């Protein structure tokens, strides 16, 4: 025979589950959002790195290196993650003997609770301009 206390506990598990499910769902969505942001960052890093490589090997006296570097970075972003990084903006830069590329975009958003949130990703890579210098020291390379 069942006691009176057992009858009052009927359905308690369903109520507890109903109270916990929104929290569990929010945690799962946060994990997925972080993973998408991280992957978008990896796409931006790869695009900026490849664009910077093109900018650096063009040589110190090259013209048109900016367009080539930006084009290559856009191509990489489009190839690796066309839907993972949206609104991609690419900017080639030069500072003294350093050249590089900066890639900015927005990671995919899956959190419906944050409609105004933007998950912006920025990657900047660069380095010294590469050039050939003969052993006799006759070329000063830019």
- Average pLDDT value for the chain: 86
Provide the percentage of residues in the chain whose pLDDT is more than 90: 51
Count of domains forming the chain: 1
pLDDT category of residue 7 using cuts at 50, 70 and 90:
low
113, 107, 70: which is closest to 91 by C-alpha? 70
Taking only the tens place, the pLDDT of each residue in 8-49 is 767 778 888 888 999 998 899 889 989 999 999 999 999 999
Helix (H, G, I), strand (E, B) or coil at 120: strand
Whole domain around residue 109: which residue ranges?
Answer: 11-128
Find how far residue 2's CA is from the centre of its chain: 59
Mean local confidence (pLDDT), 87-112: 91
pLDDT > 70 fraction of the chain, expressed in percent and rounded: 85
134 within domain boundaries = no
**Residue 135: inside a domain, yes or no?**
no
The dihedral over CA atoms of 23, 29, 31, 34, expressed in degrees to the nearest 10, equals -130
| 57-75 average pLDDT score | 89
Q: How far apart, in whole angstroms, are the C-alpha atoms of residue 60 and residue 28? A: 50
pLDDT at 5 over 70: no
Flag whether 62 is in a domain: yes
SS3 category, 116: coil
Close Cβ partners of 94 (under 8 Å, ≥ 6 residues apart): 55, 66
Question: 3-class DSSP state for residue 75?
Answer: helix
**Residue 119 pLDDT more than 70?**
yes
Q: Would residue 139 count as lying in a domain?
A: no
Q: How much is the pTM?
A: 0.78
Q: Specify the pLDDT at position 116.
A: 72
- Is the pLDDT at 3 greater than 90? The verdict is no
Determine, yes or no, domain membership for 6.
Answer: no
- pLDDT of res. 26: 86
């Amino acid at each position: 025979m069942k006691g009176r206390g057992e009858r009052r506990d009927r359905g308690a598990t369903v109520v507890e589950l109903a109270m916990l499910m929104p929290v569990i769902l929010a945690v799962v969505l946060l994990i997925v959002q972080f993973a998408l942001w991280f992957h978008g960052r990896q796409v931006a890093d790869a695009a900026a790195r490849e664009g910077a490589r093109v900018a650096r090997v063009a040589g110190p006296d090259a013209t048109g290196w900016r367009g080539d570097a930006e084009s290559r970075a856009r191509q990489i972003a489009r190839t690796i993650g066309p839907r993972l990084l949206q609104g991609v903006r690419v900017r080639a830069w030069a500072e003294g003997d350093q050249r590089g590329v900066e890639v900015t975009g927005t990671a995919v958003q899956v959190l419906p609770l944050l409609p105004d949130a933007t998950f912006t990703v920025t990657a900047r890579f660069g380095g010294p301009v590469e050039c050939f210098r003969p052993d006799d020291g006759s070329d000063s390379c830019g």
